Amino acid sequence: MNFIKSKSGIVFFHLMVWLLLFSLPYLLSSGQSQEIRNVIVHSWIPLSLYAVLFYLNYFVLVDRFLFEKKMVLYIVVNVILIVLFVWLNSKIREVFFAEFLANEKLDLKKPPRKFFIYIDMIAFGVPVVFSLALKTIQRWGKTEAERVEAANIKLQSELQHLKYQLQPHFFFNSLNNIYSLVDVSPDLAKQTIHSLGKLMRYLLYETNNEKVSLKNEINFMTNYIELMKLRLYDNTTVHYSFPDLKTDIQIAPLLFISLIENAFKHGVSADKASAIVFEMKIEDKQLTFYSENQNFPKTDVDKSGSGIGLDNVEKRLSLLYPDQFSFIEKVEEGIFSVCLKIEV
């Protein structure tokens, strides 16, 4: 496939096509001298002129006139060239093959000369049409490739931007947890800083790839949940259930962490009992992540988090898994839940 798209491949393809076109008339002839002359006069000479007209359009006229939106000039130039080449084809026959053509006229009654002129005009129009079609297809392919490349660059840029949003958000929440422990339990705060270092190492070095190990992602989420539990009130319980994978799965990094952060942000109250639940299942190549928590709306003065979590998730999913995911969030009887399904 790469050879076909290369310059060498294109040249080889053109050579093979013209070789076939020049060979067929000879192969179909009987090999007699009279037949060879007939092939030269009626096939090889016109084919040579077709080739010149084809490549004049292919390399010069289409780019210079048609693609520059000079349609009228392009048509006029080609009409002039076709008339010129029809005349040239006739003159070459008369000058170099006059005797052969005279004998041919004696052998067979020919249609009027005007008929041949019309036929030649149509015949010389064919290489113009083919060169135009081939050049247009090539330009369309190049434009489409550039569009795909631009879309891919835009996609990567958007994904990188979303990741840059996510990491400071995550880091901000983690530092809040550690800050709350410094006065209460300095030793635990030190241990937590060490745990945070591991989490940040994963964020910085292992999530740069398009896909990561789901086992590593689950380990990251587990450590983060344990870190978040350190600052919870006694009236809040956290339950999480993640699969023990026998075979690993590759998945886009950091898809679930915003859902976990969101649950801790809105599911905790100082004076009300609450429960936070996280579950992940994999069935028939479909990964399901479910989270549930009490819905305690935050006040305007509460600045915990950046408010970008769920929007971030949906944007990344639409870019990474188009038509391969479902994302449902709802609030029922004071319980907020999210169900994310991805085809893996």
* Residue 342 in this model has a pLDDT that exceeds 90: yes
Which is higher by pLDDT, 150 or 190? Answer: 190
Place of tokens 């491949």: 9
Quick check: is 216 in a domain? yes
pLDDT for 243:
93
Each residue's pLDDT tens digit, 240-268 = 999 998 888 999 888 898 898 889 888 98
Phi, psi of 213, rounded to the nearest 5 degrees: -70, 130
* Residue 289 in this model has a pLDDT that exceeds 90: yes
| Residue 187 shares a structural domain with residue 302 | yes
% of the chain at pLDDT higher than 70:
78
| Residue 53 shares a structural domain with residue 165 | no
Number of domains making up the chain: 2
| Residue 96 shares a structural domain with residue 189 | no
Average pLDDT, the chain: 79
Each residue's pLDDT tens digit, 6-65 = 677 778 888 888 888 888 877 777 655 556 777 777 788 888 889 999 999 989 898 888
Quick check: is 336 in a domain? yes
* Residue 166 in this model has a pLDDT that exceeds 70: no
Mapped onto helix, strand or coil, the DSSP state of residue 335 is strand
| Residue 74 shares a structural domain with residue 170 | no
pLDDT for 106:
44
Each residue's pLDDT tens digit, 168-181 = 556 666 677 677 67
Rounded-to-integer distance, Cα 51 and Cα 22, Å? 11
| Residue 172 shares a structural domain with residue 302 | yes
Mapped onto helix, strand or coil, the DSSP state of residue 287 is strand
Domain of 212: which CATH number? 3.30.565.10
Neighbours of 106 (CB within 10 A): 8
Quick check: is 122 in a domain? no
pLDDT for 173:
65
pLDDT for 303:
47
Quick check: is 148 in a domain? no
Neighbours of 328 (CB within 10 A): 10
Which is higher by pLDDT, 144 or 219? Answer: 219
Which is higher by pLDDT, 234 or 327? Answer: 327
Any idea what DSSP says for residue 306?
-
Each residue's pLDDT tens digit, 209-228 = 788 899 999 998 998 898 88
pLDDT for 213:
93
pLDDT for 167:
55
Which is higher by pLDDT, 172 or 277? Answer: 277
Q: What is the mean pLDDT of residues 153-172?
A: 57
Q: Which range, of 57-66, 200-209, 263-272, 289-298, averages the lowest pLDDT?
A: 200-209
| Residue 217 shares a structural domain with residue 88 | no
Q: Which of 76, 110, 144 is the last residue of a domain?
A: 110
- Domain containing 10 equals 2-110
Closest CA to 317 of 261, 258, 255: 255
| Residue 184 shares a structural domain with residue 89 | no
237 band by pLDDT with thresholds 50, 70 and 90: very high
Quick check: is 239 in a domain? yes
